[in-house]
């Protein structure tokens, strides 16, 4: 008998010998589900509470869906052309507009990527110029990281941004007040599974996110191959749970204090 599960991207397998005494065998069979449940719970809980999030008028992208609960797919660290080419058709097939937090210096390397996202109905937001830890640089440097990225987003897409997602989720009251002073909001997330660490294990991403998602969850994903692999089934699982997808800028003010 084989019992398998996944923990932190590692495949764990227990082989149970057929010649074990029956009572020992029954004990193993009884306790395995409990072990499995506690393991998957630990794996699933890498999440953060949002500090401040979108306030904007809701714009329905599909009026038929408006009674369904919403989740917000957000994708960090692009642009990454290969990921984008793979993922855009998947998002479109699932009627899933996503919010992409782009790094300015990568936008400079791939100057057409941001416009392609906007043309595909996606939202482009600010993830700083150099993916800096905003808690470790001066206020003037924080402003520069954000402004320089904003300027490039405007130049490449003609769009203003509404949010800054601090790299590594690192922010403070002073960072937040700089962001607010620039007319934007700090955008954190409520559901994450450390997808960037799950190389070769899209099933871990699918299971953890699909199980953890709640109405109004802000789901954090990254531009890594395993997430591209996970996305078709992940979106299908979220749809099967009755969710629809929306852009962060369309998140209604009434749910902005939602905590997971
Ligand atoms: Zn990042």
List pLDDT tens digits, range 59-109: 445 545 688 999 999 999 999 999 999 999 999 999 999 999 999 999 999
Contact 209, 193 (CB under 8 A): yes
HSE-CB for 62 with a 13 A CA cutoff: 17
How does DSSP classify residue 165? P
* CA dihedral over 141, 142, 143, 146, signed as positive or negative: positive
Task: Work out the average pLDDT over 184-213.
Answer: 96
| pLDDT over 50 at 12, yes or no | no
**How much distance in Å is there from the Cα of 166 to the middle of ligand 1?**
7
**How much distance in Å is there from the Cα of 89 to the middle of ligand 1?**
23
**How much distance in Å is there from the Cα of 60 to the middle of ligand 1?**
28
Confidence (pLDDT) at 188: 97
**How much distance in Å is there from the Cα of 49 to the middle of ligand 1?**
17
Residue at token pair 């808690």:
135
Q: What pairs with residue 160 in β-bridges?
A: none
E strand residue ranges, the chain: 2-7, 10-15, 70-78, 99-102, 123-126, 163-164, 185-186, 218-222, 244-245
**How much distance in Å is there from the Cα of 237 to the middle of ligand 1?**
25
For the chain, how many helices (H) and strands (E)? 8, 9
Write out pLDDT tens, residues 219-230.
Answer: 999 999 999 999
**How much distance in Å is there from the Cα of 77 to the middle of ligand 1?**
5
**How much distance in Å is there from the Cα of 235 to the middle of ligand 1?**
22
**How much distance in Å is there from the Cα of 44 to the middle of ligand 1?**
20
Contact 98, 219 (CB under 8 A): no
**How much distance in Å is there from the Cα of 29 to the middle of ligand 1?**
42
pLDDT bracket for residue 252 (50, 70, 90): confident
Residue at token pair 């009251």:
173
Confidence (pLDDT) at 19: 46
Output the CA–CA distances (angstroms, integers) from residue 153 to 54, 147, 148, 231, 246, in the order listed. Answer: 19, 10, 9, 26, 21
**How much distance in Å is there from the Cα of 230 to the middle of ligand 1?**
19
**How much distance in Å is there from the Cα of 78 to the middle of ligand 1?**
8
Residues 6 or more apart whose Cβ sits within 8 Å of residue 180:
186
The superfamily in CATH containing domain 63-255 is Glycoside hydrolase/deacetylase (3.20.20.370)
Q: Which two tokens stand for residue 189?
A: 């997330």
| pLDDT over 70 at 38, yes or no | no
Task: Work out the average pLDDT over 247-254.
Answer: 85
**How much distance in Å is there from the Cα of 167 to the middle of ligand 1?**
5
**How much distance in Å is there from the Cα of 62 to the middle of ligand 1?**
30
Query: What ranges do the domains of the chain cover?
Result: 2-44, 63-255
**How much distance in Å is there from the Cα of 123 to the middle of ligand 1?**
16
């Amino acid at each position: 008998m084989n019992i398998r599960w996944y923990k932190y991207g590692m495949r764990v397998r227990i082989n149970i010998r057929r010649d074990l005494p029956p009572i020992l065998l029954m004990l193993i069979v009884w306790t395995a589900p409990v072990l499995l449940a506690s393991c998957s719970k630990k794996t699933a809980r890498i999440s953060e509470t949002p500090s401040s999030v979108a306030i904007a008028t809701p714009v329905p992208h599909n009026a038929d869906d408006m009674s369904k609960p919403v989740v917000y797919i957000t994708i960090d660290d692009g642009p990454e052309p290969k990921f984008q080419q793979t993922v855009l058709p998947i998002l479109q097939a699932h009627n899933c507009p996503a919010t992409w937090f782009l790094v300015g210096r990568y936008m400079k390397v791939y100057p057409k990527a941001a416009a392609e996202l906007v043309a595909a109905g996606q939202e482009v937001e600010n993830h700083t110029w150099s993916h800096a830890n905003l808690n470790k640089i001066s206020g003037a440097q924080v402003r520069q990281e954000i402004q320089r990225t904003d300027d490039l987003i405007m130049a490449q897409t003609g769009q203003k941004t509404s949010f800054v997602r601090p790299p590594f989720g690192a922010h403070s009251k002073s960072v937040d007040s700089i962001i607010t002073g620039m007319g934007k909001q700090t955008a954190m997330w409520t559901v994450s599974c450390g997808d960037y660490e799950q190389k070769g294990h899209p099933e871990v991403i699918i299971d953890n996110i699909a199980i953890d998602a709640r109405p109004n969850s802000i789901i954090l994903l990254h531009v890594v191959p395993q997430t591209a692999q996970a996305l078709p089934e992940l979106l299908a699982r979220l749809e099967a749970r009755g969710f629809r997808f929306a852009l962060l800028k369309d998140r209604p003010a009434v749910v902005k204090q939602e905590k997971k």
